[in-house]
Structure 1
Amino acid sequence: MEKIQHSNIRVNGINMHVAQISNSGPPILFLHGFPELWYTWRHQMLHLSAAGYRTIAPDLRGYGGTDAPTSAAEYTVFHIVGDLVCLLDALGLDQVFLVAHDWGASIAWNFCLLRPDRIKALVNMSVVFSPRNPVRKPIESMRKMFGNDYYICRFQPPGEAEEEFARVDTTLVIKKFLTSRNPGLLCVPKEVGFGGNPNAKITLPSWLSEEDIDYFANTFKRTGFTGGLNYYRAMDLNWELTAAWTGEQIKVPVKFMVGDLDLTYNTPGVKDYIHKGGFKKHVPFLQELVIMEGVAHFINQEKPQEVSEHIHDFIKKF
């Protein structure tokens, strides 16, 4: 870990914390999800830098050492992709390989829609590309399909989820998220709350250490969760702002990876979309599809060696 260098770079009107291992080789930009940080990519950064690549992992807007505007209106895909384009400019990079997971994956799809000229190839994990529904906003669709207790619907009211998280220790919140292996719909009734039982005892899997948990937990204790939750709260606004891209395809080479126990893979309709031609229709340059057996949502941490090798096997073709 001592190989990883940290800096703060001014991008798009905010200060961004960036972790890097600076080699002269081809650059890879890693985008994390919720509730994560640059740290989620620690294994891949070390593996791929040893293979001769320059590895770059920022804390995205709202996370960790990067500035966190308070308004959800400042977390649109235009803001986030804008941050990343400015980061590439600041680093003097014309193109990068893009590797992303969870919310980072959603941002990566939009990055490829908005600025495909900056992406050499994409390795995306967990979250498939969802074409824009021209007639209904995403939160309305989720309420209709999954109910008001669906976690993304529950994340919408400002401050509500934060209050529930605050009822238990942040360390426990992080453990619950990272160790969850329930592939079913994540629905959280208000009477249960996102914190759940404050006295719960969670045994860490072999791929997560107490040191890892402490890094995430100590950071979120300092920053809170609002920055990350604002990505969910900007979903309907994104829908309005991206109307001009309705029907657009992803036009960069893509490898997609997901665990068969991932709640995203088991969301109703997603398996059929992936395996019956819908995904390929919207992502025509999808070259490789990997379904990892017995693996849950946090795939890049649960299977670090395998994921690193999958990334390398794909990007070394270009």
Structure 2
Amino acid sequence: MDQIQLRHIEVNGLKLHVAEIGNNESKAVLFCHGFPEIWYSWRHQMVAVAKAGYRAIAPDYRGYGLSDPPPVPEEATYSDFIRDLYCLLDDLAISKVFLIAKDFGARVAYLFALLHPERVAGIVTLGIPFLPPKLPSLKEGLPEGFYIARWEEPGRAEADFGRLDAKTVVRNIYILFSRSEIPIAEENQEIMDLVDASTPLPSWFTEEDVGNYGALYENSGYQTALKVPYRSMQEEINVSEVMVDAPALLIMGEKDYFIKFPGMEDYIRSDQAKMFVPKLETIFIPEGSHFVQEQFPDQVNDLILNFLKNHS
């Protein structure tokens, strides 16, 4: 962990905060975080792939952590994130990369692969499979108290989060999203109120981790994070091809709440995603939660390293 180098790289007029470890001459692995994650969520995987001889790179997206915010956070888009990654690879003189992505980072990675297939050697996603660029509504069949429905409403999540400090927001989300139930609040209740101060952290997540995440979000706030992903899910992405030719791996926790979204378990277990990603393999981790890479780092690292080895 101490060997990970942190620096800022100017990309598209903004300074992105980037974590790196490994030899610059090695094959590159680019990590794409989710929410409420940040580069730090990949700490275990970055060290593992670097020890195996790869170059590991994990940026904070624009508006996240220590990266500069976009000029107008409320207008941030997935397309911005994808352009930033493309330019970051150019700046680092990396022609082709493995993408490792978590949560909504899976959408960033797969859209990148659709737009720039020549730059992608392979894709590993955790927690979320390939979903078509024109997303069906993830709210379909879920009650109003569903967290995405709450957070896509301008002002509501800001008011909910604003009652708490950044560390408490991260702590509460990690507790909620580590469970196998989808976070749903009552009509007059907010999502943050589903957890109180006496609720223990997951055994694999420490107060030091809470502090590290909290400090990063204390810097950035949540403006951009609420716009992308929650208020950008129906963003129009101009792709002419929806077939991903690169080899791909989905690592899915059996206890990940996302698998309980209507139709999602059948979509994942029946390999329907192979219609779009023919070279996809899916592996389940029996006790894995939505944060499987932090919960079972050794197991996830082995799966990622095997994938990299087989497709290098």
* TM-score with structure 1 setting the length: 0.91
**CA apart distance, 1:198:** 7.3
The reply on whether 1:227 has 2:231 as its aligned counterpart is no
Where 2:249 maps in the other structure, the secondary structure is: strand
**CA apart distance, 1:152:** 1.5
Q: Identical aligned pairs, as a percentage? A: 36
Q: CA RMSD in A?
A: 1.8
Show CA shifts across 1:124-172 (max 9, x none): 1111111245xxx74xx34442243222221122232011012233322
Structure-1 separation of matches of 2:34 and 2:172 = 15
Contact kept, 8 Å, 2:41 with 2:294, in 1: the verdict is yes
Matches within 5 A, 1:68-217: 68-69=69-70, 70-75=72-77, 77-133=78-134, 138=136, 141-180=137-176, 181-189=178-186, 191-196=188-193, 199-217=196-214
Q: Provide the residue aligned with 2:274 in structure 1.
A: 280
Q: Provide the residue aligned with 1:15 in structure 2.
A: 15
Contact kept, 8 Å, 1:40 with 1:301, in 2: the verdict is yes
Q: Provide the residue aligned with 1:261 in structure 2.
A: 255
Structure-1 separation of matches of 2:126 and 2:138 = 21
Structure 1 counterpart of 2:164, which letter? V
Where 1:175 maps in the other structure, the secondary structure is: helix
Structure-2 separation of matches of 1:67 and 1:235 = 22
Q: Provide the residue aligned with 2:2 in structure 1.
A: 2
Equivalences, count: 307
Contact kept, 8 Å, 2:248 with 2:279, in 1: the verdict is yes
Contact kept, 8 Å, 1:15 with 1:66, in 2: the verdict is yes
The reply on whether 1:26 has 2:27 as its aligned counterpart is yes
Where 2:193 maps in the other structure, the secondary structure is: coil
Which stretches in structure 1 are left out of the alignment for 5+ residues?
A: none
Q: Provide the residue aligned with 1:301 in structure 2.
A: 294
Contact kept, 8 Å, 2:185 with 2:194, in 1: the verdict is no
Structure-1 separation of matches of 2:304 and 2:28 = 13
Which stretches in structure 2 are left out of the alignment for 5+ residues?
A: none
Structure-2 separation of matches of 1:53 and 1:178 = 29
Structure-2 separation of matches of 1:168 and 1:196 = 11
Show CA shifts across 1:91-144 (max 9, x none): 0000011111001111111111111111101111111111245xxx74xx3444
* TM-score with structure 2 setting the length: 0.92
